[in-house]
Amino acid sequence: MTTRDPQATALARLAALFADETRAACLLALLDGRAWTASELARHAGVAASTLSEHLGRLVAGGLLAEERQGRHRYVRLADTRVAQLVEDLAAQVSPGAAVRPRNLRESSAGSAMARGRTCYDHLAGRLGIAVTDALTARGLLEQETGFALTDAGLAWFASAGIGLERRGRRPLARACLDWTERRPHLAGVAGAALCRHALDTGWCVRIGSERAVKVTAAGERALWDLLGVEAVALR
Amino acid sequence: MTTRDPQATALARLAALFADETRAACLLALLDGRAWTASELARHAGVAASTLSEHLGRLVAGGLLAEERQGRHRYVRLADTRVAQLVEDLAAQVSPGAAVRPRNLRESSAGSAMARGRTCYDHLAGRLGIAVTDALTARGLLEQETGFALTDAGLAWFASAGIGLERRGRRPLARACLDWTERRPHLAGVAGAALCRHALDTGWCVRIGSERAVKVTAAGERALWDLLGVEAVALR
DNA sequence: CGGACACTTCGGCGGTGGCCGAACCGTCCG
DNA sequence: CGGACGGTTCGGCCACCGCCGAAGTGTCCG
């Protein structure tokens, strides 16, 4: 054993957690921001429960997942927003290669629902996320020319819409998350999370199926038009 | 062979490229933005030339490295800014665990030089990068409260300092890069790269040693004070 | 109390991949 | 032209790791 760069060791160790298809499938599934049980993930990934148990052990030990035991269930979720961002970054990097034709109608319709609108950990993504981000930018509420930040008008808009923006810790108020279907940045960070939570709480969107896909309701279409000038056609 | 999520497959395949200590050491070394020869990297990583040759083959095939053959040399560098950003993101994630005491004076002095100032692919990092970023923010040239973007005054400052900001492709003008020694964001993106190039071109900084570390010159201290009010003491 | 269920541990199997040294191929240069 | 040198290919070795099924532990519920 020779003496090596500790940073390289740590980097390799972290990457190794992602470098398995089963674990990668789990991390992507957990991008929906919810807590999954071990058996749900085993079914999702298509491996035996015993196999998945070991994977979860590694992911938790590596700090990527937080676990919560409830009775005979083991719930896991992504440890924090830093981890979620890392999964997003990696997923965005590989998306061009993942642009594969759907093999059947079921995958096709599920895929297009995801492309239309979904959550990305704790904020809106897909065409819905892009449409909202573009609308914010067009109205001068979000600055994208010289970086990525809310403007003063943007802060006022959130306040007037009744969406609170409480900064917790060091998490940035606004940050760009690269969408892996649209290949364009959309709003993440505290503001993205608050907007998504508000959209789900007030019924602008509802989750469909058990995955991350969301659907804009009639009330949501009206609200997005009134508040941001988003045309319903942009969401389809 | 069961049918699996193609995105998970792609993600695992990408992560596998990082999931080896030798390859990780190469990628971190290449964060200096320069092109290295295969034998330089072999020496750096402490493995046989034959071993490293295979690693380079994988990294190039995976799209992480670009290669250029010149005579009997094989030069490699990070493929593009997207890859560099990914390496940075991963490195930043592991830095807390990598905070290991240096084992001897040589490592210690090299480490503190790196902590004082270095390049991070194509922009300034370390205390130097933080000091510049903080100064830009304090003077209202960079907005960090509501995101991360240059202000109008910031654009004017770059113009008046004679630092051109040409947008190429989709690369953002300003973006935050998390520093792995300081644990704080510093200026990256087009503006960060332009500033770094200008600093090296005009002699504000010079590279020291063969690594990424840079040192602020007397002229640089004066310029940073005059243009941004950075106190020399903040750079030590 | 007993059976169903969620999860874990263990042993064993097979594939992958990192490593080296030896041999080989080009290029460079005296 | 010949030796030095950078890089590559190949064969063989070994460690690691993902997988499963079987057996075991703890929880829930009728």
pLDDT digits (tens, 9 = 90+) for A76-96: 999 999 999 999 999 988 875
Give the rounded percent of residues in chain A with a pLDDT score beyond 90. 65
Nearest nucleotide, C1' to the C-alpha of B37?
A: D6
Q: Are B110 and B208 in a shared domain?
A: yes
User: Would you place residue A178 in the very low, low, confident or very high pLDDT band (cuts 50, 70, 90)?
Assistant: confident
Is residue B13 classed as helix, strand or coil in its secondary structure? helix
Count of Cβ atoms closer than 10 Å to residue A175 Cβ: 22
Closest-CA distance, B95 to chain A, in angstroms, reads 7
With 90 as the cut, is the pLDDT of residue B184 above it?
no
Report chain C positions within 7 A of protein CB atoms. Answer: 5-10, 17-23, 26-28
Q: Are A91 and A49 in a shared domain?
A: no
d(CA B22, CA B218): 38
With 80 as the cut, is the pLDDT of residue B2 above it?
no
d(CA B184, CA B182): 5
User: Would you place residue B5 in the very low, low, confident or very high pLDDT band (cuts 50, 70, 90)?
Assistant: confident
User: Would you place residue B198 in the very low, low, confident or very high pLDDT band (cuts 50, 70, 90)?
Assistant: very high
Q: Are A11 and A48 in a shared domain?
A: yes
In a domain, B92, yes or no: no
Q: Are B37 and B114 in a shared domain?
A: no
The lowest-confidence range among B48-57, B70-79, B97-106 is: B97-106
d(CA B83, CA A92): 12
In a domain, A133, yes or no: yes
pLDDT score for B99: 46
Nearest to A173 by CA among A204, A142, A146, A145: A142
Q: Are A180 and A109 in a shared domain?
A: yes
Closest-CA distance, B200 to chain A, in angstroms, reads 23
pLDDT score for B107: 53
Report chain D positions within 7 A of protein CB atoms. Answer: 5-11, 17-23, 26-28
Q: Answer with the residue of higher pLDDT: B198 or A178.
A: B198
> Which positions in chain A touch B182 (Cβ < 8 Å)?
none
CATH number at residue A71: 1.10.10.10
Q: From the list B11, B22, B28, which residue is nearest A28 (CB)?
A: B11
Nearest nucleotide, C1' to the C-alpha of A37?
A: C6
Closest-CA distance, B193 to chain A, in angstroms, reads 14
**Contact flag B16-A19 (C-beta cutoff 8 Å):** yes
What are the structure tokens assigned to A188, written together? 């993440």
pLDDT score for A100: 46
Q: State pLDDT tens for residues A108-127.
A: 565 677 788 888 889 998 89
Strands A73-78, A36-37: parallel, antiparallel or unpaired by DSSP?
A: antiparallel
Give the rounded percent of residues in chain A with a pLDDT score beyond 70. 91
With 90 as the cut, is the pLDDT of residue A102 above it?
no
A46 burial via Cβ count (<10 Å: 0-12, 13-18, 19+): middle
DSSP-derived secondary structure letter, A186:
E
Longest CA–CA span in chain A (Å) reads 65
The lowest-confidence range among A12-21, A147-156, B23-32, B93-102 is: B93-102
In a domain, A33, yes or no: yes
How many angstroms is C1' of D17 away from CA of B181?
33
Q: Identify the bridge partners of residue B142 per DSSP, sorted by sequence position.
A: B150
With 70 as the cut, is the pLDDT of residue B108 above it?
no
Q: Are B42 and B137 in a shared domain?
A: no
In a domain, B153, yes or no: yes
- Residue A214 structural domain: 83-235
User: Would you place residue B97 in the very low, low, confident or very high pLDDT band (cuts 50, 70, 90)?
Assistant: very low
Nearest nucleotide, C1' to the C-alpha of A21?
A: D18
Q: Are B135 and B217 in a shared domain?
A: yes
With 70 as the cut, is the pLDDT of residue B7 above it?
yes
Q: From the list A7, A24, A189, which residue is nearest B91 (CB)?
A: A7
Q: Identify the bridge partners of residue A69 per DSSP, sorted by sequence position.
A: A74
Rounded-to-10 torsion of CA B90, B95, B96, B101: 160
What's the mean pLDDT in A208-217? 82
**Contact flag A147-B150 (C-beta cutoff 8 Å):** yes
Asked if residue B26 lies in contact with residue B38, where contact means CB atoms within 8 angstroms, the answer is no
Count of structural domains, chain A: 2
- The residue to which tokens 């930040």 are assigned: A149
What are the structure tokens assigned to A98, written together? 């993942």
**Which residue from A minimizes the CA distance to B16?**
A19
In a domain, A1, yes or no: no
Asked if residue A22 lies in contact with residue A47, where contact means CB atoms within 8 angstroms, the answer is yes
pLDDT score for B3: 56
The lowest-confidence range among A9-13, A58-62, B177-181 is: B177-181
pLDDT score for A96: 57
Q: From the list B90, B146, B151, which residue is nearest A174 (CB)?
A: B146
**Contact flag B14-A150 (C-beta cutoff 8 Å):** no
With 90 as the cut, is the pLDDT of residue A5 above it?
no
**Contact flag A24-B4 (C-beta cutoff 8 Å):** no
Q: Are A68 and A102 in a shared domain?
A: no
**Which residue from A minimizes the CA distance to B149?**
A147
In a domain, B89, yes or no: no
What's the mean pLDDT in B15-24? 96
Q: Are B117 and B54 in a shared domain?
A: no
Nearest nucleotide, C1' to the C-alpha of B55?
A: C18
In a domain, B46, yes or no: yes
